[in-house]
Amino acid sequence: MGEQKSTWFQLPEVIRDLFSRFPLRTYSAHPLPAAATTETGTLLYLWQGRRSASDPSCNPACLKYQALLRFHDIRHAVRASNNHSSPSGSLPFLVPAASSRPSSPITASKIPKWITSQSKREEIVHPREEAYTALVDHDIRLAWLYFLYLDQDNFDQVAFPLYCASASSNVLVQKSLAWQLKSAARDELLKSAVLIDSDELYDRAATAFQALSTLLGNDDHFFGEASPGLFDASVFAYTHLLLDDNMNWASTVLADSLRQHGNLVGHRDRLLAKYFP
């Protein structure tokens, strides 16, 4: 006589009958960002801390594209957000107006191409631009990471309020976010060096500022262009935040290095006055 097998997953007949009458349904996921589908205008999601939507972003990666949209006179609204809401896991991302909305949000790396497709003027890529972009994206960016996240005074006075305190009122959550930010900055810096040397980072940034100052010369915009472009936005994203009194820097070593170059300060001041009045 065969032995009847039993299992913990066998259900009583009355339960099986219930599920056969009312089967479970799996709903499709909502597109990200869910709220954006109810709005018709172009939306830029970025880090904003406790700043108003009309202010420049507190994050250079976000400010770069916020400025570029304004440089090209593309109307948009700003929405404060965080990395968890981004389809790529990082900010910024853009949701175009309903009339030109693609199937998914546009992540940071694709924003310049989209802006060019919507703009009345073309972005010109200059022969030397790639080399100078490396100075901004590497030397200045790495010094910025140390300056903001690993300089303890600046972290306590600037980074913590912008990225931790603004994200949650829970002390444990704030501490967890603080640890994540410092750890991510440290890991990024260690990709380029065995040891993190603040003096070397600041020296390399100072050399980069000198090179950018020489490149700009007496022109209003980089590469002698009549209007600011992507490279101007990349530089402005750092120079503005370093010179912004509202950042309340505790240590000013990196900003002091920038202030030695009056034409870079003037470049920042002109763009701020015209595009973020």
Per-residue pLDDT tens over the stretch 52-85 = 777 899 999 999 999 999 999 999 999 988 877 7
What's 48's domain CATH number? 3.40.30.10
Query: Is the domain of 266 the same as that of 175?
Result: yes
Domain that holds residue 58: 34-118
Query: Is the domain of 220 the same as that of 200?
Result: yes
248: closest CA among 154, 151, 181?
Answer: 154
Residue pair 186/150 in contact (Cβ under 8 Å)? The answer is yes
Q: Is the pLDDT of residue 104 over 80?
A: no
Residue 197: inside a domain, yes or no?
Answer: yes
Beta bridge partners of 45: 79, 93
Mean pLDDT of 159-177: 91
Strands (E), 66-139: 77-80, 93-95, 106-107
Query: Is the domain of 99 the same as that of 137?
Result: no
Q: Is the pLDDT of residue 37 over 80?
A: no
d(CA 212, CA 4): 81
pTM for the whole structure? 0.84
Query: Is the domain of 101 the same as that of 227?
Result: no
Beta bridge partners of 95: 43
Q: Is the pLDDT of residue 50 over 60?
A: yes
CA atoms within 13 A of residue 111's CA, in its CB half-sphere: 29
Specify the pLDDT at position 8.
42
Query: Is the domain of 259 the same as that of 192?
Result: yes
